[in-house]
Amino acid sequence: MLSLEGIGWTLPGGEQILKKIDLTVPDGKLTVVTGPNGGGKTSLAKLIAGVERPTAGRILLDGEDITDWDVTRRAKAGVAYAFQQPVRFKGLTVRDLLAIAAGGELCEGRICDLLATVGLCAREYEDRAVDASLSGGESKRIELATVLARENARVLVFDEPEAGIDLWSFTSLIQAFERLKRRKKEALLVISHQERILEIADHIVVVAEGLVRQSGPRAAVLPALMAGDKAAMCPRGKEG
């Protein structure tokens, strides 16, 4: 289980992005964070992954304080993070990247399963270089596959996983989230505005202006979003 207690984050220039965020992400459940662009959702994901450090509060993983851990130590402890904009790696193939994520060589069947989950054919992609030759959508799907490959994962964080993938791949992604939920193992946190992802959430958290504005079971939160706050689910512009 992942817990955030009083998390705040202020930029060096003094702009306060997050203000006393309290959030619990339980194991075996899908928690979806949504809200208007610029509200702090992606910043929250980066703080969980260790890409950024909070200026207030603490982060706990199964009760252990990991607030001061860097991104490498968190990754080794089982915090897996899929960036909104995937990183490219010159000199590595897709097969190499999946093996690194899994902590060892993968059999052909496992590679096929991982890539099929994100809508890619292993025969066409496993030996492709993870570089600029990949489109943005291809890079996004491959990064999602690396997160799913993590055998030691305790927390899976996905930042807008639906971005850059087609409808067929998106359906596969939804199925992957549902399989992860059924395993009742990892704590799942997804940053998303996508209605279909919100519909399979166990818990929905609305973040706006650096604060948790609403939080609760899907049945309690989603109807209000659907009825009166479409802007929170489908905003336009740049995420903050």
Closest CA to 171 of 138, 200, 202, 133: 200
Nearest-angstrom CA–CA distance, 204 and 157: 14
CB 199 within 8 Å of CB 32: no
Express each pLDDT in 123-146 by its tens digit.
999 999 988 888 877 887 888 888
pLDDT at 234: 45
Nearest-angstrom CA–CA distance, 193 and 197: 8
Tokens of 19: 């203000």
Please, which pLDDT band fits residue 19 given cuts at 50, 70 and 90? very high
Q: CA-based angle 15:236:224, to the nearest 5?
A: 90
CB 190 within 8 Å of CB 31: yes
Mean pLDDT of the chain: 87
The DSSP call for residue 129 is B
Express each pLDDT in 201-222 by its tens digit.
999 999 999 999 999 999 999 9
Closest CA to 170 of 207, 210, 197, 201: 197
E runs forming strands in 11-147: 16-25, 30-34, 56-61, 64-65, 79-82
pLDDT at 239: 41
Please, which pLDDT band fits residue 235 given cuts at 50, 70 and 90? very low
Express each pLDDT in 23-33 by its tens digit.
999 999 999 99
Nearest-angstrom CA–CA distance, 17 and 43: 8
Between these two residues, 154 and 176, which has the higher pLDDT value?
154
E runs forming strands in the chain: 2-10, 16-25, 30-34, 56-61, 64-65, 79-82, 155-159, 187-191, 203-208, 211-217
The DSSP call for residue 19 is E
Across the strands, what pairs with 10? 16
pTM: 0.84
Average pLDDT (134-159) is 84
pLDDT at 50 over 80: yes
SS3 for 75? helix
CB 4 within 8 Å of CB 199: no
Q: CA-based angle 216:224:2, to the nearest 5?
A: 20
pLDDT at 229 over 80: no
pLDDT at 231: 47
Express each pLDDT in 95-110 by its tens digit.
999 998 888 999 999 9
